Chains A and B, each alone.
Chain A
């Protein structure tokens, strides 16, 4: 279901973290806990924060939209570490969505939803979906430049 070979696989692996989790918030929290342990303490705070944030967004989208919150359904998650980068792959059994249209949307300043895509754009080095839109592959380069550099009106 997950085609990690379509990405540039890290040449050096720190070991994969993979699981099929129930489509529930509790399972998301449990996997994120495992992810924090898997990351260890070697990464900078910025990289640890960014990678967990990207993972959370992918998992929440899969659970809430792909599985419509049904805990009977399962979400497949794989995290792979390598030289200077982290790859996250999340797949759900849902029908997928029109990710080309979704990625083009920019949320209004006062919108209370829709910022997950902005997080992907700001924190990921590269994201890809499968054709159906029910699998996402996220590549995050470590030691990325500051996001705030492009922000104005500080």
Chain B
């Protein structure tokens, strides 16, 4: 489901390229991968959504759970390369008020 491009501990960003839709059927795999990464010490995690077409409420819940876990250890979660539809979903659910969410082609600050 995901391809870890870079892996490190502490504040070095770990970029996960999500390769499947983040929906009820598929979100467990990414949840487990994030749990493992955070357990290994990753604190800045970036989810690359360049190949994600759909996110449902289970996927949103998984993202919030990862965000909550990282916040507890003073880390951050960001989502990049979002399609216009997913960006609209995140904004309508106010997800963008809690983490960096950027559109496809936009470099995260």
Contact = CB atoms under 8 A, between A and B. Distances in A.
B94 A60 contact: no
B90 to A, nearest CB: 9
A25 B85 contact: no
B84 interface: yes
17 contacts: A45-B83, A45-B85, A46-B84, A49-B54, A53-B54, A53-B56, A56-B54, A57-B57, A110-B98, A112-B62, A112-B68, A113-B61, A118-B57, A118-B92, A122-B92, A147-B88, A148-B91
Nearest to B25: A25
Interface string B8-33: 00000000000000011100000000
A46 B61 contact: no
A36 B91 CA distance: 24
Given A56-B23, A116-B57, A109 B98 contact: yes
Contacts, number: 81
B24 A25 contact: yes
A2 interface: no
A119 to B, nearest CB: 6
Contact of A60 (B58, B64, B85, B89): B58
Interface of B: 23-25, 54, 56-58, 60-62, 64-65, 67-68, 83-85, 87-89, 91-94, 96-98
A110 B83 CA distance: 23
A122 B56 CA distance: 13
B91 A57 contact: no
Given A29-B25, A147-B91, A148-B91, A154 B65 contact: no
A60 to B, nearest CB: 5
Contacts of B68: 110, 112
A60 B24 contact: yes
Nearest to B58: A60
Contacts of A114: 57
Nearest to A49: B85
B88 A110 contact: no
Contacts of A122: 92-93
